[in-house]
A and B are shown apart, each in its own frame.
Chain A
Amino acid sequence: MDFNLTEERQMLQDTLRRYLREQYGTERRNEILASDTGFSADIWAELAELGVLGALFTEDQGGFGGAGFDIAVVFEELGRAGVVEPVLDSALVGGRLLAAAGKADMVEQVIGGAIHLAVAHGEPDSRYDLDHVNTTATDNKLTGRKAVVMNAEAADHLIVSAKDGDAIALYLVDKGAQGLDIQGYPLLAGGRAAEVTLDNTPGAPLGLTLTDFEAANRLAIIAQCAEALGAMETATALTKDYLMTRKQFGRPIGTFQALAHRMSDLLIEMEQARSAVINAAGYADDKDADLHLSASKNLIGRIGRLVAEEAIQMHGGIAMTQEYELAHIAKRIVMADHRFGDTDYHLERFIALSAA
């Protein structure tokens, strides 16, 4: 048993944390949030250069990591800094799907930061269900609508799920393909997504099925849990600092027991959250991986809500302002519950898998 990071992962964590602390402050990020593209091409290139994108792939795939803990290390730091660049969708999920399809040349471009991807799977009434696909594929022509597709506008290629007969398969659709319509919009917690419609749009079969998509989705859950954990660490750190410096009634408000105890509760829950992420990363390849992942996503969803709400409440009005760091961080935490299955979705799945 060893709960320490390997030397390589420790270096990755240190490098990324230092880089983001220096280059991704509140002011810089607020500029990025207000930009038309919703992310910074410079930051993206630098993340590639630092090896952050490569750390999401195994050596066989052309990277130098790719295990659950590599993913967790990267996303915890991205979450800590409230990064809005689409690392999760474009590089991790998109890239790993292409790797599974044997598209080595494209994976190399992903790792180098040269191309962007989007994963178009969810549909307007699929909610969080992975096997609910109404988009059809006939002779490799796709028709249907995909909902809240992250990074769709910036993507050079979209990975689109569709049903050919009864089976769900994945297709590669190029930017500007015939019949492809992308209606983009900003997201509350930063970045951009789009409603994507396909009308007889040509797609190249990737030879991947729903099973492959589920494998990529497991990585997404690890990443999303770790990202939320990082953001929660920032929220608790900001709150702790505020409680020790903000004075009312002639003393720091953290000296009031009513607040001190609530801060203590947050710190206790944060240890639970950290363990949940370790469970998710550590059991990623276990035969009961889905059970562990659902447990972690459910717990992160519950603790995330508590941390976001308590951090805002203990700050008071200042946390309600857009320009204060916590506002963005709290939105990242709560919106994490709206991706890859929310608290209730994973509770149900945990119950079903436990009974099985």
Chain B
Amino acid sequence: MDLSYSPEELAFQEEIRTFLQNDLPKDIAEKVRLDGDLTKDDMERWHAILNARGWLAQNWPKEFGGAEWPAVQRHIYDTEAAAAHAPRIVPFGFSMLGPVLQKFGSKEQQDHWLPRMLDGTDWWCQGYSEPGAGSDLASLKTKAVRDGDHYIVNGQKTWTTLGQFANMIFCLVRTDSDAKQQEGISFLLIDMDTPGVEVRPIILLDGCHEVNEVWFTDVKVPVENLVGEENKGWTYAKYLLTHERTGLGGVGSSEAGLKAVKRIAKAANHNGKPLIENPHFAARVAQVEIDLRAMATTNLRIISKAAAGEAPGLEASMLKVKGSILRQEINDLARRAVGPYAMPFASEAVEGANDRIPDPLDAGPVAGQYFNNRKLSIFGGSNEIQRGIIAKVTMSGGA
């Protein structure tokens, strides 16, 4: 047992720190620190800076233009990036579709789509959930019917994150209505500029526009955009869900969030003393910190396993449940810490409106973030679904 990083890993950490210090644009970091809405341009700028270093597709093999970082290095990057308030790399291309194409895509698909992800030609979004298919994803109804050299797609996807910025969407569609649910699904790449594709915004409860509905009406998709085999899409989707899942706990974000809570609580006055000295509040903070320290080690243990070549299955579900609960707890602490100043509504929707929002503790829209991050225990397989997986695997011998 040795909890410390190797000399090579420490050198890597130093390299990442220096890079973030020098190359992360200050205006972008400030937006991330105060939970401001990043524009498409902000995210593309950051992607381009990472790409110039060859660090954009961190999990991809070198042959596809990736950094091929092992799990420990990716963890180091995640931790440092969160601490430096770097934007999250938009995951749909790099963490999700990329690995699927590398494993199941044709040579032509790999040669065409992967370089375009790296240079920013394409912005991908994910078309999985539907209004009637959330936790029960396999009940999806969006239909693709083969017609000569094309599929004709009809249906509706929802909760499409950053779909308003995307020009491409990878979708799970039903290609065989007679087969058992999971067996009639295919994995299709759809150009969002095709006639019949319509993106409609969904405004979330904190006023943010980050998710969308995507509607398909007689959309013609060339058959070469089918990934792998017809009706095998569920297998690819599952591969995507069980691989590259080590960052799930959000430890870096939680650590950065807890640091912010302490800073706010130091500045906040409570009965003539800093709030952080108040025993009740201090106890709340300490308990979360104790949990987080243990979870950081749990996370490292799972990363070590992954580095040794074992695919995290159960552990990914466990990390997601515990990690989401901790992050939500930290959001709760932040809103408590600001007291009455949690109430003003900083809406990105109204141009210039935020100039008038009082924020004496320099906390950002913490109440909005508290509500927004309720999504953490809902999306990507709700915590109920994750608990179901854990129970199924441990008590009946298979998922």
Q: Is the CB of B340 within 8 A of A248?
A: no
The stretch among B71-79, B214-222, B343-351 that forms the contact with chain A is B343-351
Contacting residues of chain A (97-128) with chain B, CB-CB under 8 angstroms = 122, 124-128
Q: Is the CB of B356 within 8 A of A184?
A: yes
Nearest A residue to B332 via CB reads: A305
> Provided the pairs A148-B340, A320-B378, A338-B339 are in contact, do residues A186 and B134 lie with their beta carbons within 8 angstroms?
no
Bits for B363-386, please: 1 = Cβ < 8 Å to A, else 0. Answer: 000011011001101110011100
> Provided the pairs A259-B384, A313-B378, A344-B280 are in contact, do residues A185 and B134 lie with their beta carbons within 8 angstroms?
no
Interfacial chain B residues near A187, Cβ < 8 Å: 343-345
Nearest A residue to B131 via CB reads: A318
Q: Is the CB of A127 within 8 A of B344?
A: no
Interfacial chain A residues near B342, Cβ < 8 Å: 188, 335, 338
Count A-B contacts at CB 8 Å: 138
A321 at the interface (CB under 8 A from B): yes
Complex: how many Å from CA A183 to CA B358?
Answer: 9
Q: Which of B357, B370, B374 contacts A313 (CB 8 A)?
A: B374
Nearest A residue to B202 via CB reads: A321
Complex: how many Å from CA A128 to CA B268?
Answer: 11
Interfacial chain A residues near B132, Cβ < 8 Å: 247
Q: Which of B159, B271, B336, B358 contacts A147 (CB 8 A)?
A: B358
Complex: how many Å from CA A328 to CA B97?
Answer: 36
A347 at the interface (CB under 8 A from B): yes
Q: Is the CB of B345 within 8 A of A186?
A: yes
A348 at the interface (CB under 8 A from B): yes
Complex: how many Å from CA A185 to CA B340?
Answer: 14
Q: Is the CB of B269 within 8 A of A316?
A: no
Interfacial chain B residues near A126, Cβ < 8 Å: 269
CB of A31 to closest CB in B, whole Å: 15
Complex: how many Å from CA A313 to CA B135?
Answer: 12
> Provided the pairs A187-B345, A321-B203 are in contact, do residues A331 and B371 lie with their beta carbons within 8 angstroms?
yes
Nearest B residue to A127 via CB reads: B339
Nearest B residue to A148 via CB reads: B340
Q: Is the CB of A248 within 8 A of B203?
A: no
Complex: how many Å from CA A185 to CA B341?
Answer: 12
Q: Is the CB of B336 within 8 A of A188?
A: no
> Provided the pairs A312-B374, A323-B203, A335-B367 are in contact, do residues A248 and B339 lie with their beta carbons within 8 angstroms?
no
Q: How many residues belonging to B are interface residues under a CB distance threshold of 8 Å?
A: 55
> Provided the pairs A122-B340, A322-B205 are in contact, do residues A185 and B356 lie with their beta carbons within 8 angstroms?
yes
B129 at the interface (CB under 8 A from A): yes
Interfacial chain B residues near A215, Cβ < 8 Å: none
Q: Is the CB of A125 within 8 A of B340?
A: no
A67 at the interface (CB under 8 A from B): no
Bits for A59-90, please: 1 = Cβ < 8 Å to B, else 0. Answer: 00000000000000000000000000000000
Contacting residues of chain A (183-200) with chain B, CB-CB under 8 angstroms = 183-189, 193, 195
A49 at the interface (CB under 8 A from B): no
B38 at the interface (CB under 8 A from A): no
Q: Which of A183, A320, A330 contacts B375 (CB 8 A)?
A: A320
17 extra A-B contacts, CB within 8 A, seeds A187-B344, A256-B384, A331-B205: A124-B358, A128-B339, A147-B358, A185-B344, A185-B353, A188-B344, A189-B343, A195-B358, A249-B136, A309-B374, A313-B382, A322-B204, A322-B207, A335-B342, A335-B343, A338-B342, A348-B278
A-B contact pairs, 16 of them (CB 8 A): A127-B340, A148-B341, A183-B358, A185-B357, A188-B371, A249-B135, A249-B139, A313-B374, A316-B378, A316-B382, A317-B134, A317-B158, A317-B378, A321-B204, A322-B204, A339-B343
Q: Which residues of A contact B (CB under 8 A)?
A: 122, 124-129, 132, 147-148, 183-189, 193, 195, 247-249, 253, 256, 258-259, 305, 309, 312-313, 316-317, 319-323, 327-328, 330-331, 334-335, 337-339, 342-344, 347-348
